[in-house]
Chain A
Amino acid sequence: MALRPTYTPQTWVEGSAPALSPANLQVIDDEIDASSKLAGSIPQRFAGLLMRTHPDADKAADQILIESLDYAVMDDGEIIADFSGITIDRTVSGAGGLDTGAIDTVLWYAVHAIYGTSGKSAVITLADRWLTGAEHLVTIGESPTGDVGGSAATTRRAQSFLNESARPIKALSLSMTRVGTLTDGVKITIEADTAGSPSGTALATGYMDPARWPVNSAAQWVLAGSNTQHGATVVFPTAADLAANTTYWIVAERTGAIDAANYVAWNTTAGYADGESKRFDGSSWIATSSDHGFTEWLDMAPELGVTLPTGYTRSCKLGYVRTDGSANLMPFVAADRMQWHMDTTLNIDNYSGRTTGMESQSVNADVFLPPPPLRAFVFSADADASRTHFRIGAGKDGYGALREANEADSAVNMITQRIASTTGASVAQQTGGWMYFAEPVAHVWTNALGAGGTATLQIKAKRWEWFL
């Protein structure tokens, strides 16, 4: 959608004849139609928004109140003024409620102002979200296995998996670390299965930057134990539509030359029942004896989008609200695109860390943040008063947060927090920071030092600013 050219009408002289030809009138007709829609020009902007779960305690679980909204530029570019005072009730269907379907638990909904011949109103609609699909969670051990590009016999490695849902695959988290110093990248493709091996045709392609990953060594990556990890995340710029109950392959290949000292290790741990692993020696795929760790990230969004009730033809997204386990609205306030959680329960809760050493996980940030892209003020609380280092990395870049402890915070999209006394118990210390979530993936790293029991941490987002 683009701005139409500004039309300068003929100067009208009172009392004179119109002197307009039919052609000219048609130009005016067309131009007025275009300018009345696209004036305002950058769709889905707004100004003067104060919105919140209803301030009356007896309505807060059901209703959102748009306290003020000076202007909304609808999706066709038209500016509509003053949506102030409009309420949205989750128990209502259509205008002033949920656009379609039934309200569900623990999901994000987008709030939209809507407009049409029926006037002004607002609705909530199920928001985009990513879900984890097939996965094989493994431990990235101290001794790397499953080299990719460490020898001619392992030019590529692949893992097949059974995709269960007919949805686009947006990303993969892979249990990988680096060995040595890499300067090249890792290419990850999704391929169909042909006679029990990868087809050789990429359905989706993404690249990872292992130079930013943690090194698999005792000094920096002590992981003796049964902890599980998802590992590094690769995002596919163009998602592949995968068929349900169909086998596909994840194929990993370094972009540089074979290097026996510097390569990527994709952990191999047996136990995935619905697939197998193989290596490529330059001419053929050869079965290997174990399985590689991975997690699918599926996009639930393509079918979503506001369903406009009868009498409404335009919309403008205003923000997000989440439902709790009872499908009640979780309390929030919003000022333009900045939103605050007003509750403690939106967090990655009771993350169980280790009593000693370090460990990491990647988790779905959808638990405490609406669909990205957004920036969020993230912090942590120590629910059981242990003594703990704590790091969080955001999005696909966040895996870099798992590097050595002295890595400068600014090097990656992360925050570091140290909870250094027992008074941290259940009290948020607020020493977090802003993180940028381009994907709804958070990488969590803990280092339980000194005294204390098993670290039981909570990751919370106090507020966020959404961009899209």
Chain B
Amino acid sequence: MSLVSYTAKTWVEGTDPELTAANVQTIDDQMATNARLAGSIPETFAGLVLRTHPDASDADDKLILEYTGYLAMSDGELLNGWDQMTADLSVSGVGGLDSGSSRQASTWYEMHAIYDAAGPTQNLILTEADEWTQDQAFATNDGSLGVGDNAARQRLAQSFQTTNTGPASFVDLYLVTTGTPTDYLTVTIEADTAGDPSGTPLATGHVLDQAKIGTSIYWLRIVFRTPATLTATTTYWIVLDRSGVVDAANYVAWGTDSAQGYATGSMKSYDGAAWNAETRDANFRVYIETTSAALTLPAGYDASCKIGYARTDASQNWQRFIQMDRRLRQMISTAGTSTNTSVRTLVTDAVAIPPTPCIVSYRAAGDGAVTVELPAVWPVPDGYDGIAAVAEVAGGVQKRITAVADTEPAWYVGDVLTRTQGYYVSNQSGGDGTTIWAVEAQWLR
């Protein structure tokens, strides 16, 4: 909702008002709206402390909004008086799950404050958050094939079918650079036309700078700003195309499997005139957004404000956390990601990071050996830059760990702004081992 600028009738002194009842009602409505919006930017808040219930007996089921300074509702009205309200996973409706949601394992939920102006009544409600499912993945690898390294391979494509219908928000590709290409790589998703890519992109990923793709093969995440909605069990193609001319010495190659182990698709190359079958499959992963129903306001409620994210564990109980304003700190133990190589590893951390853009804080530990470790983290999508040795390229962070006993995850590495619950990690020193954890996420939307 936004303010509507109202231009009042110009008043001429001494003339009749010439106002109809309808016009006066319009003025009345507009002023009421403006009065509500005064002082607020809708769906913002301050002074909020939200957490799983501090009573151990309630923590599996309940979230509690311990404190709030104020909430600006979706209609702009500022409200306080939310302290100590709870939301219960075992309840349906007000104070629990909205009508479109159910209690599930390993699932992110949004918590919303809701308001019934007529009551007036304030309460909380939970709704399932939109998440991403790794729908297709093919990682078997025994080689690679160049994109634009040969006139017979000006483009490469891999077909696939998803098991879910929904937006394909991003894909992961297994890529490596040969030489020093200076042009760009475009990744599109296309429909299938007679067994070939249609030639018409349904979605285009962010354009990659080939000069930044590393020389050791690794997974890169390509995000589609406007995803294509894919239909289950329907063939689509991931198409890779370089912007420059064919160059046999400088190109990016796509990881492949000569055993053609991907069951529901095939690989093809484009020679400038026609698509030709390759006797291999390419390495890729496709993620489908499971779009949950929008928040369903219970009867009588007319405004809401999203105030947090919470996740259930494998037993459909709340994963313990505490959130202050938008900073979400998980209070769980996870294995983290171990790495002993400077080659970047793409991580998807759906446990610690809500399914929304976040500023994520990382910590790291060494392995106890007398080795310098340089754990580093980069964001999605920019962190694919596998060439630069310096962490801050592409928004990365890095920490030097030298002490023998540095095996505890006590070392603050830094914060990055990342998306898709993903990030890249590496051990830039190539030391014998470091483990990296995402420990805190500030959700942005």
Which A residues lie at the B interface, using CB under 8 A?
3, 6-10, 12, 14-16, 18, 20, 22, 25-26, 28-29, 31-33, 35-42, 45-48, 50, 55-59, 67-68, 70-71, 73, 78-82, 331, 333, 335-336, 338, 340-344, 421, 423-424, 426-431, 460, 462-463
Q: How far is the CB of B338 from chain A (nearest CB, A)?
A: 20
Asked if B169 is at the interface (CB within 8 A of a chain A CB), the reply is no
Chain B residues whose CB sits within 8 angstroms of the CB of A67 once the complex forms = 225
The answer to whether A29 and B429 touch across the interface, beta carbons within 8 angstroms, is: no
Contact of B388 among A38, A344, A430 (CB under 8 A): A344
With A55-B381, A336-B444: A36-B38 Cβ-Cβ less than 8 Å: no
The answer to whether A57 and B390 touch across the interface, beta carbons within 8 angstroms, is: no
The answer to whether A462 and B392 touch across the interface, beta carbons within 8 angstroms, is: yes
In the complex the two chains form, what is the Cα distance from A343 to B391 in whole Å?
A: 9
Chain B residues whose CB sits within 8 angstroms of the CB of A12 once the complex forms = 21, 24-25, 28
Chain A residues whose CB sits within 8 angstroms of the CB of B24 once the complex forms = 12, 18, 20
The answer to whether A340 and B395 touch across the interface, beta carbons within 8 angstroms, is: yes
Asked if B357 is at the interface (CB within 8 A of a chain A CB), the reply is yes
With A9-B27, A70-B43: A463-B37 Cβ-Cβ less than 8 Å: no
The answer to whether A340 and B21 touch across the interface, beta carbons within 8 angstroms, is: no
Q: List 13 A-B contacts (CB under 8 A).
A: A22-B11, A28-B8, A31-B31, A35-B34, A36-B4, A36-B34, A39-B38, A46-B41, A57-B184, A57-B209, A335-B417, A428-B392, A462-B392
Contact with A along B33-67 (1 / 0, CB 8 A): 01101111111100000000000000000000000
Q: How far is the CB of A87 from chain B (nearest CB, A)?
A: 12
In the complex the two chains form, what is the Cα distance from A428 to B8 in whole Å?
A: 60
Contact of A29 among B1, B11, B359 (CB under 8 A): B11
Using CB atoms, name the residue of chain A closest to B390: A344
Asked if B230 is at the interface (CB within 8 A of a chain A CB), the reply is no
Chain B residues whose CB sits within 8 angstroms of the CB of A333 once the complex forms = 379, 382, 395, 417
The answer to whether A427 and B445 touch across the interface, beta carbons within 8 angstroms, is: no
Chain A residues whose CB sits within 8 angstroms of the CB of B42 once the complex forms = 70-71
Asked if B32 is at the interface (CB within 8 A of a chain A CB), the reply is yes
The answer to whether B208 and A342 touch across the interface, beta carbons within 8 angstroms, is: no
Contact with A along B1-31 (1 / 0, CB 8 A): 1111110110101100101010011011011
Using CB atoms, name the residue of chain B closest to A48: B445
Chain A residues whose CB sits within 8 angstroms of the CB of B103 once the complex forms = none
Q: How far is the CB of B290 from chain A (nearest CB, A)?
A: 21
Count B-side interface residues using an 8 Å CB cutoff: 71
Q: How far is the CB of A377 from chain B (nearest CB, A)?
A: 8
In the complex the two chains form, what is the Cα distance from A41 to B44 in whole Å?
A: 14
The answer to whether A35 and B391 touch across the interface, beta carbons within 8 angstroms, is: no
B contact face: mostly helix, strand, loop, or mixed: loop
Asked if B345 is at the interface (CB within 8 A of a chain A CB), the reply is no
Q: How far is the CB of B245 from chain A (nearest CB, A)?
A: 15
With A9-B27, A343-B393: A40-B445 Cβ-Cβ less than 8 Å: no
- How many A-B contacts if CB must be within 8 Å? 195
The answer to whether B2 and A50 touch across the interface, beta carbons within 8 angstroms, is: no
Most B CB contacts (10 A, CB to CB) among A12, A40, A59 go to A40
The answer to whether B11 and A18 touch across the interface, beta carbons within 8 angstroms, is: no
With A32-B6, A343-B392: A26-B445 Cβ-Cβ less than 8 Å: no
The answer to whether B391 and A428 touch across the interface, beta carbons within 8 angstroms, is: yes
Among B172-180, B248-256, B397-405, the one that faces the other chain is B397-405
Asked if B414 is at the interface (CB within 8 A of a chain A CB), the reply is yes
Using CB atoms, name the residue of chain B closest to A6: B35
Chain B residues whose CB sits within 8 angstroms of the CB of A426 once the complex forms = 389-390
The answer to whether A33 and B31 touch across the interface, beta carbons within 8 angstroms, is: no
The answer to whether B392 and A79 touch across the interface, beta carbons within 8 angstroms, is: no
In the complex the two chains form, what is the Cα distance from A33 to B27 in whole Å?
A: 11
Q: How far is the CB of B325 from chain A (nearest CB, A)?
A: 12
Given contacts A55-B206, A340-B417, A427-B400, 5 further A-B pairs with CB under 8 A are A35-B35, A41-B40, A47-B41, A424-B400, A430-B398
Chain A residues whose CB sits within 8 angstroms of the CB of B379 once the complex forms = 333
The answer to whether A35 and B31 touch across the interface, beta carbons within 8 angstroms, is: yes
Using CB atoms, name the residue of chain B closest to A42: B39
Contact with A along B395-424 (1 / 0, CB 8 A): 101111010000000000111110000000
In the complex the two chains form, what is the Cα distance from A35 to B37 in whole Å?
A: 10
